[in-house]
Amino acid sequence: MTRPTLRQATGPAHTRILGLGGVRGEIVVTNDDIAGPIDSSDEWIRQRTGIVTRRRAGADTDLLALATGAAEAAIKDAGLTGADIDAVIISTVTYPHQTPSAAAIVADRIGATPAAAWDISAACAGYCYGIGQADALVRSGSARHVLVVGAEKMSDYVDPTDRSISFLLGDGAGAVVIGPSDTPGIGPTVWGSDGAQAQAIRQTHSWLQWRDDPSLGWPTLRQEGPTVFKWAVWQMAPVAQRALDAAGVTADQIDAFIPHQANMRIIDQMIKQLKLPETVVVGRDIADTGNTSAASIPLATERLRREGLVEPGALALQIGFGAGLVYAAQVVALP
């Protein structure tokens, strides 16, 4: 039997971000609001993290609402409608259903049916993972317009008495639409993982352990702060440099540096190691929004644009890193 030769899809040569949107939790939570149960202070939190306030969502705002709001804003910004979206990727580690995915529900809410829809679990690297996937999907011809959303309601997994991570965390969602472009708009994604360090940022115990022993309490997040801090500072700057090299640009040729909003001191150290000139605008949204995991990079981008600090076409180096441990970086042209 002679088998037929399969056809394989091919797509446009280039992609870019066509539109961007973001939503923050509606409640402003100050350091004083949370310092008591962790025996901390406004001064300590500001000095060690750069966080002044974090934004959290109220009981009536769930992750789907945050994600849908950001998605609608990004689609509108791209000049498209939900019907133009072929694939929806939501990166989240805080969606409280094992299945179905948040992406399938958001796709329906924004009128993107029958778009392909799935969630990814890559924590604070999830947005950059999503950009890498979307870029590949469009260039392979598998989808024309891909919606990438980073959405987190971290406050549902916060232990108010935990000193290790809870005080950093905020709620929000950021979204972009990726589509075809006449010119290159998304550089190669440099990504990876180090599961040997899985314990460095973790859930206290599994859902099954909680089911079998309710005295353990609702699972929440913990981290080995100094371990994560050193990993981020020493291992992530070289990853960011590799993303610059892969895109064929140098530190003085980019307009913006938009790292995951984990800690202002990590951001400052990375700037030093990458030798970024002062002309490069830096995303520092953590000061008011806190660490919103997968949402933090698109939210920081949304803010830079809203404040008029970056213009359309500006080249931004973005890097996400977090629980896994996982990381991903790329240079993108901003919408």
Ligand X SMILES: CC(C)(COP(=O)(O)OP(=O)(O)OC[C@H]1O[C@@H](n2cnc3c(N)ncnc32)[C@H](O)[C@@H]1OP(=O)(O)O)[C@@H](O)C(=O)NCCC(=O)NCCS
Query: Which positions are catalytic?
Result: 124, 260, 291
Of 114, 226, 308, 312, the one binding ligand X by CB under 6 A: 226
Least Å distance, CB 110 to ligand X, is 28
Least Å distance, CB 223 to ligand X, is 5
Binding part of the chain for ligand X, among 104-112, 190-198, 204-212, 218-226 by CB under 6 A, reads 218-226
- Virtual CA dihedral for 128, 120, 65, 180, nearest 10 degrees? 50
| Helical packing angle, 264-274 and 225-247, nearest 10° | 40
Residue with the CB atom nearest ligand X in the bound state = 225
Least Å distance, CB 188 to ligand X, is 23
Nearer to ligand X, 95 or 167 (CB): 167
Nearer to ligand X, 44 or 210 (CB): 44
Least Å distance, CB 41 to ligand X, is 7
Least Å distance, CB 132 to ligand X, is 18
Residue 154 phi/psi, 5-degree rounding, is: -60, -30
Asked if 229 is part of the footprint of ligand X (rule: CB under 6 A), the reply reads: yes
Of 14, 28, 33, 38, the one binding ligand X by CB under 6 A: 38
Contacts of 262 (CB under 8 A, 6+ apart): 124, 168, 228, 232, 286, 291, 296, 321, 322
Q: Are 175 and 45 in contact (CB under 8 A)?
A: no
Binding part of the chain for ligand X, among 15-23, 36-44, 240-248, 309-317 by CB under 6 A, reads 36-44
Peptide bond into 100 cis (omega under 30): yes
Of 28, 142, 225, 246, the one binding ligand X by CB under 6 A: 225
Q: What angle do CA 44, 323, 262 make, to 5 degrees?
A: 35
- Within residues 138-167, the interface with ligand X by CB under 6 A covers 163, 167
CA-derived radius of gyration, the chain: 19
Q: Are 270 and 237 in contact (CB under 8 A)?
A: yes
Nearer to ligand X, 258 or 315 (CB): 258
Least Å distance, CB 205 to ligand X, is 19
Nearer to ligand X, 228 or 281 (CB): 228
| DSSP character at residue 291 | B
252 backbone φψ class: left, alpha, beta (φ>0; ψ -120 to 50): alpha
Inter-CA distances, 152 with 22, 61, 147, 221, 295, Å: 12, 11, 16, 13, 7
Q: How far apart are CA 158 and CA 224, in angstroms?
A: 15
Count of residues touching ligand X (by CB under 6 A)? 20
Binding part of the chain for ligand X, among 220-228, 267-275, 282-290, 300-308 by CB under 6 A, reads 220-228
- Within residues 50-89, the interface with ligand X by CB under 6 A covers none
Of 31, 49, 220, 241, the one binding ligand X by CB under 6 A: 49
At 216 the three-state DSSP class reads helix
- Within residues 236-275, the interface with ligand X by CB under 6 A covers 262-263, 266
Q: Are 291 and 262 in contact (CB under 8 A)?
A: yes
Nearer to ligand X, 22 or 320 (CB): 320
Enumerate binding residues for ligand X (CB under 6 A): 38, 40, 44, 48-49, 124, 163, 167, 201, 223, 225-226, 228-229, 232, 262-263, 266, 291, 322
